[in-house]
Structure 1
Amino acid sequence: MIRQATLGIRLIHRLRHDSRNERFTGMVMLAFAVVGLTAANLPGIASGYEALSTFTPPLPIASLTMPLSQWVEDGVLTLFFLVVGLDLRQEMATGFLSDPKKATVPVVAACGGVAVPALIFWTINSSSPELAHGWTVPTATDIAFSITVLTLVSRRGSGELRAFLMTLAVVDDIIGIGLIAIVYSHLTSPWPVFVLAACLLSWFLLIRMRRPIWPVVAAIGLIAWYAMLSAGIHPTLSGVAVGLLTPARPVFREMTSRAERYRGKLSPWSAMLALPVFAFFAMGIPLCGIGTHELGSTVFLGILIGLVIGKPLGIMLTARLCTAVGLSLGDGIRWRDLLGVAQLCGIGFTVSFLMADLAFSHSAQSSQYADTAKLAVLIGSLISCLLGVLIISANRHADKRHTRCV
């Protein structure tokens, strides 16, 4: 028993250590996505996967009666958005976003990287208002995967490039959060909004106490989540809201800020639990129902072209406009380096999967459109990843040849 307990403790410590490795957590999420896709299409297993996905836990509150996959999307994924909120708060206080001179170009480039793929998708699908509603799907960048790939393949100037990509992806997250709040949230009742406001005010005050009362803080967070759900606002945004209200500078003579400290504690749970489980259910696409018609559909093409071409095109064009008016890309960043980073921004995954579900949730063919959109996100992300790796690797080899010649 003692030996088993020791092994269990070692395993927990090992997982906690590995969860701080972006390469490892990115591979874990990708593995769960592949397992989900495989389970949804293997004979004999697909029915079990479908039963698990549609299983509805019996709960006494009617508004909480949701299938398991919906619980993961609306509930478990809130943890990921809480980490995003804490990260955004810290970046705005002490990080790259706190310096307007350094942040201007990546911030504007992020806006271009959202606008161009959205315009491409809308142009291709403009003849159908039902399909055009999915214009947000190709706008998102998965910060975890893009940073992981850049870390794996880039060596020269990786610090500057990483900071640029991090800022760009963080702003992309802010825009994505705003789109979910504005486009996919529909206020159904004003009363939960007052409850939500009271919860956020309570969080703001409680989290600034010398010793926060954690059971009360957790209860406030859960009530805020439920209030958002009841109000018709996507409940995962409650995580962002409370994250942004957390102190980003040390208080009571603490060594680090609470936003940074809480993010460090919650990130392993987000990376090793919330994102993999979400990927497992989000990628449950039955490929047998997708044929050449779906692969040639305007939804598929709009997302694929938007991610692979629209994302890097929008980023590069707006970055070029910024430099044309006298702004700087940053020390050590060259245009060919930026092209590789811009291509990596075509990796959608997490938020794109979520937007695919939200965009077509009220459509008559919601399941078919959502599955087609998710498959397009997967393929477009993989192509963007491959092209980004090729561009960055080509730049690295060119630098080596130049060094040998010198």
Structure 2
Amino acid sequence: MAAPSPTPRKFLGRLSLPERTFVVEALRAETVGGVLLLAATVTALLWANTPLGSSYEAVSDFHIGPSALGLDLSIQHWAADGLLAIFFFVAGIELKRELVAGELRDPKAAALPVIAAICGMAVPALIYLAVVIVGGGSTAGWAVPTATDIAFALAVLAVIGTALPSALRAFLLTLAVVDDLFAILIIAVFFTSDLNFAALGGSVVGLGVFWLLLHKGVRGWYVYVPLALVIWGLMYNSGIHATIAGVAMGLMLRCTRREGEEQSPGEHIEHLVRPLSAGLAVPLFALFSAGVTVSGNSLTDVFTRPETLGVVLGLVVGKTFGIFGGTWLAARFTRAELNEDLTWPDVFAVAALAGIGFTVSLLIGELAFAGNAALTDEVKAAVLIGSLIAAVFAGFLLKLRVRKYRAMCEEEERDEDQDGIPDIYEQDNPQYHLRMAAIYEEKAAEHRRRAELAGASRDGGDRPE
């Protein structure tokens, strides 16, 4: 007798309740942070392109910090190297959680979003390289269009009033997490200056102490925050980008729950730090990085200079077709079936939304063209324009399906028995059906009572006191 064929795996199917709860809570904070990020970007552009533009440069270039420790940095560098370490710390926790409890814990389930994310980074890089090689530009910025900014993408969704179903939101979040992982590797490998091995050794020792304290169950922010600052300072002086320290510490946190725990330490700390990252660190980075001078000539140069054109095409075209193509190929070869409530145009729209590469793209642009201020500003302008085009394009595609998404979200959130668990997760539970039958009977009885009162009122009969 032939063995039964395995059931095809569902792609973008319903999330488990704990996973859905995590995604909803995580993205709620990112959405608020994304709106602040958008506001900070607009503020930076207005500040830099008004008569107050000289004050913007003065503030950005103002140096502060102990020079004896090698930390006499400009405000802009403090934002890029210091505040973004908080952002990457949260990214490290997200990555650890995805690896041990999320979408990436199962290699078969992880294959599809990982392949999609890799293609979504490789294709933009190849498009950039093709454009600059043909145009005779610099290949140094190949990594600029490879990043996805989840906060900015969610801000776009908030502005256009579109709520994605949880499966699409989880897919976008997983893409961003894998994206961040490879961005971290790119920064560490390709943008490391001359190494100071003494400082690097000190940071490694500090990370070892950090891990040991976590392993021993030591608690108290007053222990970990000073240690984290020391590790960060040593990492900065080692020549490796200081944000790597944030990632390393985030990856060390335990993200699995033990018996009796409502939250793992990683989940608890992420819950505390994420608002600081999304609401303060990233917007301040944008404020001091996105303030490029915009003029008619500079906008024209974005589409004529090979480096900037490569960035725009990489974000808008490369990201969209890289992620969509990688997803389609992975689903085809793994025989994963798309959720029957969704279509491939939905995946294409999310892929276009992932073309919003802002925070990390700006950071990599600064690193790639360090020492060339004019080209750095032009690349930043290209990131802004490319992200804007991707946002408008994705917003148009998502608006075409807004009614369908709204209906799916309402179905996911419906809780008629008001027990705190969405009804869609209880449909196979006999107790749920008993509760729903009681609710419907109660509603029917109320309806009958109101009909009787209305009839008595029309007939002029006795009315109950």
The TM-score range, normalised by the shorter chain, is: 0.7 to 0.9
- Counterpart residue number, 1:220: 227
CA distance in 2, matches of 1:19, 1:311: 21
Quickly say closer, same or farther: Cα 1:240–1:232, change in 2 above 3 A: same
- Counterpart residue number, 1:195: 202
Within a 5 Å distance, the mapping from 1:248-259 to structure 2 comes to 248-251=255-258, 253-259=260-266
Shift of 1:188: 1.7
CA distances 1:18-76 after superposition (whole Å, capped 9, x unpaired)? 99544332111111111111111101x11111111111115242621111111111111
CA distance in 1, matches of 2:147, 2:260: 38
CA distance in 1, matches of 2:40, 2:281: 11
Quickly say closer, same or farther: Cα 1:315–1:18, change in 2 above 3 A: closer
- Counterpart residue number, 1:261: 268
CA distance in 1, matches of 2:106, 2:161: 28
Quickly say closer, same or farther: Cα 1:110–1:243, change in 2 above 3 A: same
SS of the equivalent of 1:133 reads helix
CA distance in 2, matches of 1:137, 1:168: 17
Shift of 1:126: 2.4
Of 386, 389, 398, the match for 1:383: 389
SS of the equivalent of 2:104 reads helix
AA of the residue aligned to 1:170: V
SS of the equivalent of 2:400 reads helix
CA distances 1:358-391 after superposition (whole Å, capped 9, x unpaired)? 11004xxx11111111111111111111111111
AA of the residue aligned to 1:61: A
Are 2:47 and 1:24 equivalent residues in the alignment? no
Of 303, 315, 322, the match for 2:323: 315
Alpha carbons 2:29, 2:278 under 8 Å: kept? no
More divergent stretch after superposition (349-358 vs 390-399): 390-399
Of 328, 333, 339, the match for 1:325: 333
Of 93, 96, 100, the match for 1:86: 93
CA distance in 2, matches of 1:243, 1:290: 39
Are 2:336 and 1:337 equivalent residues in the alignment? no
SS of the equivalent of 1:97 reads coil
Alpha carbons 1:113, 1:313 under 8 Å: kept? yes
- Counterpart residue number, 2:130: 123
Shift of 1:207: 2.0
CA distance in 2, matches of 1:25, 1:303: 25
AA of the residue aligned to 2:177: V
Of 102, 105, 108, the match for 1:95: 102
Quickly say closer, same or farther: Cα 1:286–1:169, change in 2 above 3 A: same
Quickly say closer, same or farther: Cα 1:259–1:308, change in 2 above 3 A: same
Of 354, 361, 365, the match for 1:352: 361
Alpha carbons 1:308, 1:383 under 8 Å: kept? yes
Quickly say closer, same or farther: Cα 1:251–1:194, change in 2 above 3 A: farther
Of 127, 130, 150, the match for 1:143: 150
SS of the equivalent of 2:192 reads coil
Alpha carbons 2:29, 2:275 under 8 Å: kept? no
Quickly say closer, same or farther: Cα 1:130–1:199, change in 2 above 3 A: farther
More divergent stretch after superposition (352-361 vs 84-93): 84-93
Quickly say closer, same or farther: Cα 1:139–1:126, change in 2 above 3 A: same
AA of the residue aligned to 1:308: V
CA distances 1:236-276 after superposition (whole Å, capped 9, x unpaired)? 11100000001112358432101111000001111111011
Alpha carbons 1:295, 1:372 under 8 Å: kept? no
Shift of 1:149: 3.7
AA of the residue aligned to 2:37: M
CA distance in 2, matches of 1:263, 1:299: 37
TM-score by length of 1: 0.87
Alpha carbons 1:147, 1:162 under 8 Å: kept? no
CA distance in 1, matches of 2:360, 2:215: 30
CA distance in 1, matches of 2:350, 2:114: 14
Are 2:298 and 1:298 equivalent residues in the alignment? no
CA distance in 1, matches of 2:140, 2:213: 40
Alpha carbons 2:137, 2:307 under 8 Å: kept? no
Shift of 1:203: 0.9
Quickly say closer, same or farther: Cα 1:135–1:254, change in 2 above 3 A: same
CA distance in 2, matches of 1:291, 1:147: 26
AA of the residue aligned to 2:50: L
CA distance in 2, matches of 1:252, 1:212: 19
- Counterpart residue number, 1:4: none
Shift of 1:334: 2.0
- Counterpart residue number, 1:14: none
- Counterpart residue number, 2:291: 284
Instruction: Give the total of aligned pairs.
Output: 380
- Counterpart residue number, 1:393: 399
Alpha carbons 1:142, 1:350 under 8 Å: kept? yes
CA distance in 2, matches of 1:103, 1:154: 27
Pairwise CA RMSD: 2.5
CA distances 1:107-163 after superposition (whole Å, capped 9, x unpaired)? 10100000001001011112688721100000000012224445665457x111111
- Counterpart residue number, 2:379: 373
Alpha carbons 2:37, 2:152 under 8 Å: kept? no
CA distance in 1, matches of 2:212, 2:126: 42
AA of the residue aligned to 2:323: I
Structure 1: gaps (5+ residues): 1-16, 401-406
CA distance in 2, matches of 1:154, 1:41: 32
CA distance in 1, matches of 2:82, 2:282: 12
SS of the equivalent of 1:126 reads helix
TM-score by length of 2: 0.76
Are 2:183 and 1:171 equivalent residues in the alignment? no
Alpha carbons 1:117, 1:138 under 8 Å: kept? yes
* Percent of aligned pairs with the same amino acid: 37
CA distance in 1, matches of 2:302, 2:202: 43
AA of the residue aligned to 2:318: G
